Chain A
Amino acid sequence: MDLHSDLHKRRIDLVAFLGALCLFLSTVEYLFPKPIPFMRLGLANLPILVSLKLLPFPYLMLLTLVKVAGQGLINGTLASYVFIFSVAGSYSSVLVMYAVSRTGGRFLSLVGVSLAGSMTSNAVQVLLSIYFIFGKNAVMIAPLFLGIGTVSGLLIGLIAEGFVEHSRWHANLRRLYAQE
């Protein structure tokens, strides 16, 4: 990629803006009560979902880094083992979402993409907690964790798809950042 091109600069700008949006949404998430400690709505995934078809792969990775680091700062988990879970969950889910949205093509909307990403993230975190912290008994929380993942992934996917379909701002971005 040409680091001096105009397109590169605009993409970096977009990453910065969407990254900031991730941080904002992580904070907004505190509005919602948490009946279960590890339950998370995943609002901060909205900017990533929305940019899956706007930004090329390296920029998505960068955006994910901004999101994860920012969330770590906001939630105060940056220096704890929870951060490793967060990194693993976020990156695995972005990789899956990217792959799924590229291969799914027109047969898949952001609803399915979001759901796949959410399930991946939660499954990876359950597996990590089995191997590194709680041992085999952590299998007990797998159904709960993945059940929550299904609901929140579906919800976030619906919001993202609704936004992408109806936002003029996003339609404009799609024109500006058209790839190839």
Chain B
Amino acid sequence: MFRLSLRPGDWFVLLVSIILVVFLTLQSMGDRGGVPIVRIEGEDESWVYPLDADIEVEVEGPLGHTHIHIHDGAVWVSDSPCTQKVCIAAGQISAPGTFIACLPNMVLVRIEGRQEGEIDGLAF
């Protein structure tokens, strides 16, 4: 093989590149803190709880009270005055971005926060 002599500028560019990569790596690893929050929206009010709370919330809607539980990092609707009970059937949610809605009683429960860097699908 032949010899190649790297020049000072080459080392400089290489150094900048490596620093950039290391910096970005540290940033993307260190920035995972923060507990997701549970946002509960009623007819014209809204509440925010941390997902790691342990609490039962009653939200008043046009039909009556919707009971929402937050326990062990999961949220579910335990009782609702609506007829279809879709919100109860929705079960427990725990991932940011997911939600439970009770349309008849106008209640929306949503988990907000940083997604854990999960990508559903990639196509190239």
Contact = CB atoms under 8 A, between A and B. Distances in A.
Contacts of A162: 2, 4
Given A109-B7, A115-B13, A140 B2 contact: no
A108 B10 contact: yes
B19 to A, nearest CB: 11
Interface residues of B, number: 25
Interface in A143-180: 143, 146-147, 149-150, 153-154, 157-158, 161-162, 165-166
Given A108-B10, A112-B9, 5 more contacts: A37-B122, A146-B24, A150-B21, A162-B2, A165-B2
Nearest to B115: A137
B10 A143 contact: no
B55 interface: no
A157 B14 CA distance: 11
A150 B7 contact: no
Interface string B1-40: 0101111111111100110110011011000000000000
Contact of A115 (B5, B8, B14, B122): B14
Interface of A: 37-38, 82, 100, 104, 106-109, 111-112, 115-116, 119, 134, 137, 139-140, 142-143, 146-147, 149-150, 153-154, 157-158, 161-162, 165-166
B85 to A, nearest CB: 34
Given A137-B117, A143-B24, A162-B2, A112 B124 contact: no
A116 B13 contact: yes
B6 to A, nearest CB: 6
A139 B8 contact: no
Interface string B91-124: 0000000000000000000000001010100101
A111 B10 contact: yes
Contacts of B24: 139, 142-143, 146
A112 B12 contact: yes
Contacts of A37: 122, 124
